[in-house]
Every structure is written in structure tokens, then in C-alpha cells.
Amino acid sequence: MKNLSILGATGSIGTSALDIVRMHPDLFRVRALTAANNLPLLCRQIAEFTPEVVAVLDADKARELAGMLTGPCRPDIMFGEIGYARAAAWKTTDMVLLAMVGAAGLKPALAAIEAQKDIALANKETLVMAGDIVMARAREKKVSILPVDSEHSAIFQCIMGKRNKDVKQVFLTASGGPFRNTPKEAFEKITREDALNHPNWSMGEKISIDSATLMNKGLELIEAVHLFGICHEHIQVLIHPQSIVHSMVGFTDGAVMAQMGVPDMKQAIGFALSFPERLDLGMAFPDFVQLQSLTFHAPDFQRFPSLEFARQACIRKGTLPAVMNAANEVAVQAFLDRRMGFSDIFRLISLTMDCHTCIDNPDLSGIIEADHWARTKAESLI
């Protein structure tokens, strides 16, 4: 029996993870749940999974949640950064599924590591912002960080049991999002609804926009550098519209291994939660006869400069990755709030990065300060 804390329980990753718990109640027990705002769904999850503790966004949400609970399960209710960190480090938990969105996942990740809880990581921003610090602390505390992103899970599955020195190239695949064939001159007319309409994956709003701009692939590139100790120069992004090959690894002898499956996050989530075992998730294999072909092509850096931003951040290091991430979070939210256009997302990130004076080898407080600076700067530029 593995005891879980699920941070971000009401999002797409969190609800898929709870589907897996529902399928395998003999293997998993939910000890802690967190959510920001979706209290009705959180209430239903509390009634079904009877966690010992929950955490929500703030004190007002905590009071509202307390008033909504009507069943026999009455978990401790906490809130804010401290509440999320305590849920991540909860005493009866063995593994933390970190599915919170954005920079908010960093402090809970560090709290989980300090408490020596293994992490199933769906929050790529944690490693983008502070990958060196997080991975060093995980090694020190002997904590396993298992990737939940389908691409990083694929890479992990391909290199599992292989020697690091034999890995020569990583091929990071991307669907290309809803605008992979859209001319650049049409980007100015893209609406919120257009960008949220992903052709292959069902995801939350923020990651759907990141997929539309290819920033999700930029974030994943930086995450892969930290997770696998691979130089960014040895990571190639490939557009793969069918989303069947989740990523590939090339070895020194010219062999390439690919991990494939239907575009459903449950496989990657289940693998991280059950590692080294594999769960029966009732998922079908891809219908290769029906597919007929799998295609790949290079991304267009002119139309999607997010990938170049990420490579710049990889090269410069220091506080620049945190600044890039913060500017992107502000830009995405402004686009979702209809405060600016789709192309403005790229402009805002670029301007914010250009305005930043990068600090080398920052400590955690320096990274958080850079994150705050970038958010303030990006808002002023809007």
C-alpha cells in the first residue's frame, strides 16, 4: 500500500491520478489533497477518498470549504503556502504527486524532499526555476523524483537500466499544438477559445496555452536537462502531430528507442505512482493499422520563439530560467483574461528576459526574488 499526497487534486493530472487510485484501491491510499479554487469537486473527492488533511488557496477558501463539508470525513483544513507545504510533507505520506500549476509548486516540492517523500513530478516549473537546488537536495535526502510529463516519462522508460555514457541524443516530441500549420500573420487574430482547443490532449488552461505557444516544450527541455543530466545541445525537439511517440532516446551505437502509447496521461501517471511496477489501466494500444503513418518535422522557431527563449535560458542559467517562467505565467494569464493578444505572449517574455540582469549561481531566495521581479516587470510592460 502506497500512501499519497496529491497536490493539485482538482486539475487534469490530479483527477486522472484519483481515477487510478479508484481502479487500484488495494495499492493506494490518499492521505492529503490540495486544490486552489474548485471547492465543489474537492468536497466530492474528500467524501470519496477520506484524506487526513487538505489545503486550499487562502483562509477564505478554508472557511468556505469547512462550511461545505457535510459527510463524516472531517480532515484538517490548511491554506496558503504553509498549508501546501505541510500537505506535501504529511507524516503518513510515502509519495507526493506534485500537480500544482506554475511556480507555486516549488516550495511544496522542497518541503516534500526535506521530509524525505518521493515525488511524482508533473510540475515542470519546479525544475525550470530551481533545478540545480531541487535535484541536489533530492540526492542529499535520497529522494526519488519520477517524471509524470508524458515526454519525460518516455525518456525515463527508454533509458531505464541503461548506462548514462551510452545516451547520445534525446528526441523530445511535441504535438505542435492547434496552430502548427497556422501562418504567423494569422497569430494576431487567435482567440482564447482557439488556443484552448488542443487537437490531441485534454489539459488545463495554462498548459493548453503553453502547448499552443510551444512554451511547454521549452519548459520540458529545461526540465529534461535537470532530470537526466543531459546537455541542452543533445536534446532535439520534434513536431509529431499524432502524439503516439511520446519521446525517443538515441544511443552511441546509433540505436534509437521510442516509448509509444495513446495520448492519455494515465499511463505516465500510473508508471510514476507504481514504479517499478506497471499497472493494468485498461488502456488500448495505438491502432497502428488505422494510423498508417507517424510523421516528424522540425519546429518553426520563427513562429514559435518560445523554444529559443528556453535555449537562451539553458545557456545563460542563473536566474534567467526563473524569469522566463514567471514572464510566461503572467503572459498566459493576461491572454486568458483577454488583456492582450496571442502574439503578445512572445513579445512580453522576450522583453522581460531582455530587461533582466541575470544573477549567477543564485540561492533559493535569489530565485524567488527574480521570480517576483519578473512578475512585476511583466505586469508593468503589459
Mean predicted lDDT score pLDDT of the chain: 95
Q: Which residues pair with 76 in a beta bridge?
A: 53
Across 93-99, average pLDDT: 97
User: What cell numbers appear for 218 in the block?
Assistant: 521549452
- 37/139 same-domain check: yes
List helix spans (H) across the chain.
12-23, 39-49, 59-68, 80-88, 106-114, 124-141, 150-159, 192-196, 205-213, 215-228, 266-274, 288-291, 306-316, 320-336, 342-355, 364-381
- 21/142 same-domain check: yes
**Number of structural domains found in the chain:** 3
pLDDT number for residue 71: 80
Evaluate whether residue 270 is within a structural domain. Answer: no
Evaluate whether residue 311 is within a structural domain. Answer: no
Evaluate whether residue 107 is within a structural domain. Answer: yes
C-alpha 372/C-alpha 129 separation (Å) is 12
- 37/134 same-domain check: yes
Q: At residue 141, what are phi and psi to the nearest 5 degrees?
A: -90, 0
What is the extent of the structural domain holding 354? 317-382
pLDDT number for residue 73: 85
Confidence of residue 37 (pLDDT cuts 50, 70, 90): confident
In CATH, what number is assigned to the domain containing residue 333?
1.10.1740.10
pLDDT number for residue 200: 67
In CATH, what number is assigned to the domain containing residue 111?
3.40.50.720
C-alpha 318/C-alpha 132 separation (Å) is 10
Which of 131, 147, 163 represents a domain boundary (last residue)? 147
pLDDT number for residue 201: 62
Confidence of residue 199 (pLDDT cuts 50, 70, 90): confident
Evaluate whether residue 198 is within a structural domain. Answer: yes
What are 257-271's pLDDT values in tens digits? 999 999 999 999 999
Across 129-148, average pLDDT: 97
C-alpha 194/C-alpha 115 separation (Å) is 42
Evaluate whether residue 276 is within a structural domain. Answer: no
The pTM score is 0.93
What are 332-356's pLDDT values in tens digits? 999 999 999 999 999 999 999 999 9
- 27/120 same-domain check: yes
Q: Which residues pair with 260 in a beta bridge?
A: 245
Provide the pairing of β-strand 145-147 with 118-121. parallel
Across 112-118, average pLDDT: 98
